[in-house]
Amino acid sequence: MIFLDVSVRDHKGLGRYLNSLIKSLNYLNLPFSEFGSTASPFSIRAFFRKVPYNGSIYIFPHINIPISSLIIKSKILIVIHDTIPFENRKLQYLIWRIYLIFLLQKKNVRVITPSSYSKSLASKMFYIDSHNISVLYNQYSESLTLNRECTRTILNGFNFIFVGNNLPHKNLDILLSAFKLVYNKNPAVRLHLVLGRSPQQSTALHIDERVKAAVTIYSSLSDKQLFSLLASCDVLIQPSLVEGFGIPILEALALRVPVIASNIPVFRELFDDSIKYFDPHSAHELSKLMLSLSYDSQLSHPNPTPILEKFSISSTSSQLDNILRS
């Protein structure tokens, strides 16, 4: 029996990855059971959660892995989606990192990451032999492509969208600076920011008064609402300085929405030439791309189908099957 910790199911990046794992386990027809409450996955209490026994394999996300995992002798897979949280210098994150370094030295523990880039970072940060880390890509839902026309609505103007949060590595200030430059030349443009649930996500933004009317901020969107909005926009922009994967890009490609993203290694690795890139430190370069696309009614862009194939359920399930058998 495989036991899967689902305590971060509602957490967007890890939650999406968790859903991919569940779909693959179902696709492979492997017996598994879920455990863990989604009520407080980031609390101290979460470290002392009860873990079911008699499992052959346990899968934990990297957040609040229960202390009891130290005495589990069965195989353990730990999902390290990205190393960004562990770069925080607060004491709790330092303790968290030390605990993981200790846990990851156990012979029955292996790691999965969603990209080779994340694998490289995890190997260095936690002192793990790269042979003990496997790459398992996130997957997209094929229903997104099939239902694209049904979910679209009509929006006024030319619409850009960002999906994520306002943490420093998301680099939103560059996007807002670029949008201001674009708006000055084309007032028909609009920007949609889909952020996290925390009120600080929107209050910490530095939006120029002259463009505020053209910027709409969303929080707590359901997946259905998010996909409808994404499908209705003209271009997705992801200006991140660092990422573990980049699920909004994958979902945009599945919805046939063109993407502009920062020229960082993980995006190059995963999405190759199916999207357009810019220097994440240059608002001017981003604004030029945005402006050219806002005047291009045809929006010609590469066919994403070849890229999507490696993120299909059959492909990712095959990867998972190989990892579990090894």
Q: What is the CATH number of the domain that holds 87?
A: 3.40.50.2000
Arithmetic mean of pLDDT over the chain: 88
Give the 3-state secondary structure of residue 59: strand
Kindly write down the DSSP assignment for every residue of 99-149, as one continuous string.
HHHHHTTSTTEEEEESSHHHHHHHHHHTT--GGGEEE------HHHHHTHH
Together in a domain, 222 and 301? yes
Together in a domain, 244 and 284? yes
Together in a domain, 110 and 198? no
Together in a domain, 300 and 283? yes
Question: HSE of 176 in the Cβ direction (CA atoms, 13 Å)?
Answer: 19
Residue 124: exposure state from Cβ atoms within 10 A (0-12, 13-18, ≥19): exposed
CA separation for the pair 124, 142 (Å, rounded): 35
Q: Is the pLDDT of residue 71 over 80?
A: yes
What residue has token string 């890009």? Answer: 249
Together in a domain, 197 and 279? yes
Q: Please check whether residue 62 is in contact with residue 97, taking contact to mean a CB–CB distance below 8 angstroms.
A: no
Q: How many CB atoms within 10 Å of residue 173?
A: 14
Tokens of 302: 């590469």
Give the 3-state secondary structure of residue 83: coil
Q: Is the pLDDT of residue 283 over 80?
A: yes
In the DSSP assignment, the letter for residue 264 is -
Domain count, the chain: 2
Together in a domain, 125 and 153? no
Q: Which residues pair with 260 in a beta bridge?
A: 237, 276
Together in a domain, 78 and 157? no
**Residue 273: which domain range?**
142-309
Across 19-28, 135-144, 176-185, 267-276, least confident range: 135-144
In the DSSP assignment, the letter for residue 222 is -
Q: Which residues pair with 59 in a beta bridge?
A: 4, 77
Find the DSSP H helices in the chain: 12-27, 91-103, 116-125, 142-146, 148-151, 172-185, 200-203, 223-232, 247-254, 265-271, 283-294, 305-309, 313-325
Element at 215 (helix H, strand E): strand 215-219
Together in a domain, 161 and 290? yes
Q: What is the pTM of this model?
A: 0.91
Q: Is the pLDDT of residue 203 over 70?
A: no
Question: In the predicted model, what is the mean pLDDT of residues 212-236?
Answer: 90
Q: Which residues pair with 134 in a beta bridge?
A: 112
Together in a domain, 180 and 86? no
Please write the tens of the pLDDT for every residue from 107-166: 999 999 999 999 999 999 999 999 999 999 999 887 777 666 666 777 889 999 999 988
Together in a domain, 281 and 175? yes
Together in a domain, 43 and 125? yes
Together in a domain, 70 and 86? yes
